[in-house]
Amino acid sequence: MAKSIFLTGASAGLGEGMARGFAKRGYSLALAARSRDKLEVLAEELRRSGAAKVVVYTLDVTDYDSVPRVMGEAAAELGGLDIVIANSGIATATPAGRGSFEAARRVIDTNLLGAMATIEAAVELFRKQGHGHIVGISSVSGVRGLPTQSAYSASKSGVTRYLESVRADVFGTAIRVTDLAPGFIDTAINRNLPSRPFLVSAEKGTEIMIAMIEKQVGFRYVPVVPWTLVALLLKILPTRLLAKAS
């Protein structure tokens, strides 16, 4: 039987790219996002490209109570879930003291609390099943608080710390936890930035991510080179140099 995946943020960006890659590998897919129309179009494409089964769900991960309900419906439809990927995310500039708190709140609500709601529901489901694989999408931006990106950096750092705790909570069980931290992968979420060093295409980036998910890695930067080294440098970079980057 084909493995089944529940994927949030599936209608665009990394989610759309991963959906295409998993479909070609013959997985069954439960795709969730706010845009039902985009999901329906994508689902038709994926059915033709080799997916074992594709079902779609309208879901806003900031409607936290709806997350376990929708995930439960997907599990029932697909006969259980093997992998849950908490991928939903937004990004916007939130410079300190510039009236951007409401934008910052939306980023935290979606990227961190939405991911937590998704992962919490997945752990509960997987404990009942006796197995499962949780994947969270963090970011190199979570390594250090970046100029004008306070909320995004905080949200992605929070995802990593949360996944570390979840990994400890499920240690010794058949539940696996993966944290993938992409650098610059060419999607709409980062195309308005003035600079995107070491950029890779969405197709290449998501292929790397899929391979890491299939290997059930614990934590990886994506791609591993050069972002593992960049992350180390970010941690020690003086603030005056970091500030100039803005």
How is residue 57 written in tokens? 């769900």
Which entry of 27, 57, 64, 152 is annotated as an active-site residue?
152
Mean pLDDT across the stretch 11-20? 98
User: Cis peptide leading into 226, omega within 30 of 0?
Assistant: yes
- At residue 239 the predicted structure's pLDDT band, cuts being 50, 70 and 90, is very high
Whether residue 152 lies in the annotated active site: yes
Q: How many domains does the chain have?
A: 1
Query: 133 Cβ partners below 8 Å, 6+ apart?
Result: 82, 83, 84, 175, 176, 177, 178, 213, 216
Query: 66 Cβ partners below 8 Å, 6+ apart?
Result: 59, 60
pTM of the model: 0.97
Whether the predicted pLDDT of 208 surpasses 80: yes
Determine the pLDDT at residue 192.
Answer: 87
Mean pLDDT across the stretch 86-111? 97
- For residue range 113-170, list pLDDT tens digits in order: 999 999 999 999 999 999 999 999 999 999 999 999 999 999 999 999 999 999 999 9
Angle at 93 between CA 18 and CA 187, to 5 degrees: 25
Determine the pLDDT at residue 51.
Answer: 96
Name the packing angle between helices 114-129 and 66-78 (round to 10°). Answer: 40
Domain that holds residue 129: 4-244
CATH of the domain at 145: 3.40.50.720
Mean pLDDT across the stretch 183-211? 95
